[in-house]
Structures are given as structure tokens and as C-alpha cells.
């Protein structure tokens, strides 16, 4: 077998072994950090849609159907004042130190129960767990592949004593 093929085979083999990093334990701090990042991302998406809705309202005087439905789902009237109030309310949930502290505390408090019983996992927590596991998977596969290539490419020493 050529050295290059041997190196690639070793890399692939250790890459597959590294994929088992998907099952590494998840720490509470990492979960809280990722759950907050997911929450922040959702809030930023809502803010973007609300800002686009406000722009559309000022330009056209009315909203398209999907934006009107989105506002109704959030419980927001179709006027600029209501949209502005909702934007500031959402921003406060991800920027106010007390609100952030309470949110992170609630994630930390529920971590142990969610880890034991999957039925207790909400949408945000499920995304956080999934994000952590797939990050572990990718890092494990990548590191395993690189190590396998390096180990497969090394030549055994042939020193005679």
C-alpha cells in the first residue's frame, strides 16, 4: 500500500473514532452558554423582522400578509408605536443584565432535569444540546483525521543497535 493511501486510510479510521466525541458529556456551563446564544439568535431574528415590518409600514402604509401574521403571533398591533415597544421589550431580554442573569439561571436550574429526562427539553434547550453535540462530532472527526494522517505518514525508524 502506498504511503499516501496508508495515511488517508489511517486518517479516515481515526476520524471515525473521533466522531464518538458526539457522545462526550455536556457541562452545565457550556449548555447555559449555548442555550443563551440560541435565545439571543431567536431574539435577533424577531428584531430583524420587526424592523423590516416597521420599514414596510412607513413606506407602504400597510403590511404584507406574512408580516401581519407574524405581528399577530407576537401580540403586536400594526402600528409603529407597538412595534417599537415590542422591539425594546425583546432587546431588554437579551441585553439587560438582570434579565440575562435570570435567563441563564433558569437554564442552569433546568439542566440536570433536562439531561435526565428528554421529555422536559424545550425547543431552545434541544437546539443547544444539538449544537454542542455536533460541534463535538466535528472537532472529534477533524482531530482524529489529522492525527490519523500524521501517524500514517510517519516512517518507522530503522536504527540498528
pLDDT band at 12 (very low <50, low <70, confident <90, very high): confident
**What percent of the chain stands above pLDDT 90?**
30
Task: Tell me what pLDDT residue 5 has.
Answer: 73
Asked if residue 1 has pLDDT above 70, the reply is no
- Compute the average pLDDT of residues 16-30: 80
Percent of the chain with pLDDT over 70: 91
Cite the DSSP H helix spans in 19-64: 28-60
CA 55 to chain CA centroid, Å, is 29
Cell of 91: 432587546
* 161 has pLDDT over 60: no
Distance of CA 36 to the CA centre of its chain: 9
Q: Is the pLDDT of residue 111 over 70?
A: yes
Residue 159 covered by a domain: no
pLDDT of residue 2: 63
Q: Decide if 48 is inside a domain.
A: yes
The stretch 117-146 carries a mean pLDDT of 85
Residue 54, SS3 per DSSP: helix
Mean pLDDT of 130-158: 78
What mean pLDDT do residues 108-132 have?
86
Cβ 148 vs Cβ 5: under 8 Å = no
Statement: residue 153 has pLDDT above 60: yes
161 located within any domain: no
55 in any annotated domain: yes
Residue 25 lies in a domain: yes
Evaluate whether residue 160 is within a structural domain. no
The domain containing residue 127 runs over which residues? 3-153
How far apart CA 58 and CA 81 sit, in angstroms, is: 12
Answer yes or no: is 104 within a domain: yes
Q: Is residue 36 part of a domain?
A: yes
Number of domains in the chain: 1
Amino acid at each position: 500500500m502506498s504511503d499516501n493511501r496508508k495515511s488517508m486510510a489511517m486518517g479516515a479510521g481515526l476520524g471515525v473514532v473521533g466522531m464518538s466525541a458526539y457522545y462526550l458529556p455536556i457541562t452545565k456551563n457550556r449548555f447555559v452558554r449555548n442555550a443563551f446564544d440560541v435565545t439571543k439568535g431567536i431574539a435577533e431574528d424577531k428584531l430583524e423582522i420587526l424592523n423590516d415590518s416597521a420599514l414596510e409600514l412607513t413606506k407602504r402604509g400597510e403590511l404584507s400578509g406574512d408580516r401581519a401574521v407574524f405581528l399577530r403571533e407576537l401580540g403586536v398591533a400594526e402600528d409603529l408605536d407597538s412595534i417599537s415597544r415590542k422591539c425594546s421589550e425583546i432587546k431588554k431580554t437579551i441585553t439587560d443584565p438582570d434579565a440575562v442573569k435570570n435567563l441563564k439561571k433558569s437554564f442552569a436550574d433546568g439542566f440536570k432535569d433536562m439531561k435526565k429526562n428528554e421529555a422536559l427539553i424545550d425547543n431552545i434547550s434541544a437546539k443547544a444540546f444539538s449544537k454542542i453535540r455536533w460541534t463535538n462530532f466535528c472537532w472529534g472527526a477533524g482531530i482524529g483525521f489529522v492525527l490519523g494522517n500524521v501517524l500514517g505518514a510517519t516512517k518507522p525508524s530503522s536504527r540498528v543497535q
